[in-house]
């Protein structure tokens, strides 16, 4: 499994990339690999607000459907529309193809997430 450095991760296999007061959110390589071929992505609207651990999106594959949860709270400022037209982009590169861009509500919530090193250890224990 590919794990990108400089990202934060959740136990539900979401990732966060912070840029100032904004953050990109997506699913980790582990998640897309376990889901299989992704055929549908449901994303929120711009200006929607979500709390940490609240479901903000849904991903459907040939094997399963899964909610995607907010790693941190925030307000959606941009949605990756390309994923709606081509959900398989998540299979091609789960880290390059972010799902939403948010305005971070509380940066302190980042401290509760895993670093890439912690996430790698977590994955090793999962297998």
Residue 51's CATH number: 2.40.50.100
Residue 33, both tokens: 């690999």
Give the pLDDT mean for 95-119: 98
Domain membership of residue 2 (yes or no) is no
Determine the structural domain holding residue 92 and report its residue range.
12-105
Domain membership of residue 5 (yes or no) is no
Domain membership of residue 35 (yes or no) is yes
Domain membership of residue 36 (yes or no) is yes
Domain membership of residue 121 (yes or no) is no
Domain membership of residue 34 (yes or no) is yes
Band (44; pLDDT cuts 50, 70, 90): very high
What integer best gives the mean pLDDT of the chain? 97
Give the pLDDT mean for 95-104: 98
Band (21; pLDDT cuts 50, 70, 90): very high
Domain membership of residue 75 (yes or no) is yes
Give the pLDDT mean for 26-50: 97
């Amino acid at each position: 499994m590919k794990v990108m450095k400089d990202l934060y991760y959740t136990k539900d296999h979401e990732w966060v990339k912070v840029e100032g007061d904004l953050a990109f959110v997506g699913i980790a390589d582990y998640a897309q690999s376990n889901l299989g071929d992704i055929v549908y992505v449901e994303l929120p609207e711009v200006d929607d607000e979500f709390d940490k651990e609240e479901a903000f999106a849904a991903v459907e594959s040939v094997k399963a459907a899964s909610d995607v949860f907010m790693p941190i709270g925030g307000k959606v400022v941009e949605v990756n529309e390309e994923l709606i037209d081509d959900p398989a982009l998540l299979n091609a590169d789960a880290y390059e193809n972010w799902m939403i861009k948010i305005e971070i509500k509380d940066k302190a919530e980042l401290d509760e997430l895993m670093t890439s090193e912690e996430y790698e250890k977590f994955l090793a224990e999962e297998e």
